[in-house]
Structure 1
């Protein structure tokens, strides 16, 4: 899935816009606000009609991310592998049942893992965002 994300500038609140293009060409647009610490945050998300998304997208020009996401089920979890298209970076993410659940790496992922960046603000998508070209 191709993912384009952008953030509307703000101090206390930064709204994220996301456009997902599936391999079959289906496009969906979303607006999201996240609150709280990375390990246990609350997300408020809604579908954005294409006209609204288009009108707001220009506001995100200073902070955008472009990546391809691969979704890989493994056991009781689903791993999301994000390949960033504007830099040499690949991130793997899994959502756990709660913050105390231990992460068990799948055998197909373990050899490629360099380090755990959970909670490292340098790897938050909003931090990785760059101005659009």
Structure 2
């Protein structure tokens, strides 16, 4: 069993951009989702994954991820009710690595920083990090794809 420890944040500024070391396009859709579980397919270039997540919104959830053939991922995405398109920027900061997702399409304008760690990080954060939304299910991709942008997101 794999436990994913991840915190989510809105951003206070875009100064993170000058520290980004890579970016890649992602397309993902949800085969099913409920408040405590989701099944996702994600494509990035020639690579594709099937991901299962279990547990309520919060910093620690079970996650199982498997590489799958691109053709299978595209076929599965055809069954998704909707998809998310985003760019993921990798931003290192003082030994930590932030994954900053810049959403497109109907979620355009939303930018979320994610911090995955071995244990819950409670130390200092960069000044470009804004409000934490880890415990707010409206900011989970499975909910965003279904409900769209949260009201009052800033």
Report the Cα offset of residue 13 of structure 1. Answer: 4.8
Q: Against the structure 1 CA distance between its residues 9 and 57, is the aligned structure 2 distance closer, same or farther, given a 3 Å change threshold?
A: same
How far 1:18 sits from its partner (Å)? 0.2
CA contact (8 A) 2:30 2:40 kept: yes
Matched, 1:5 2:25: no
Structure with the largest fraction of strand: 2
For 1:16, the equivalent position in structure 2 comes to 40
2:76 aligned residue (36, 42, 56): 56
Aligned residue pairs total 120
Corresponding residue for 2:135? 119
Indicate if the aligned counterparts of 2:33 and 2:142 stay in contact, CA closer than 8 A.
no
| Structure 1: stretches of 5+ with no match in the other structure | 22-26
Distance in 2 (alpha carbons) for counterparts of 1:6 and 1:77:
28
Counterparts in 2 of 1:93 and 1:68: CA distance versus 1, 3 Å: same
- Distance in 1 between residues matched to 2:49 and 2:76, nearest whole Å: 11
* Structure number with higher relative contact order (C-alpha < 8 Å, ≥ 6 residues apart): 2
Distance in 2 of aligned mates of 1:114 and 1:41: 23
Q: Which runs of 5+ in 2 are unaligned?
A: 1-23, 148-154
1:14 is displaced (CA, Å) by 3.0
Shift of 1:97: 2.4
1:113: Cα distance to partner?
3.6
After superposing on structure 2, the runs of 4+ consecutive aligned residues of structure 1 that deviate more than 2 Å are: 9-14
- Counterpart in the other structure of 2:118: 97
Separation in 1, partners of 2:66, 2:48: 9
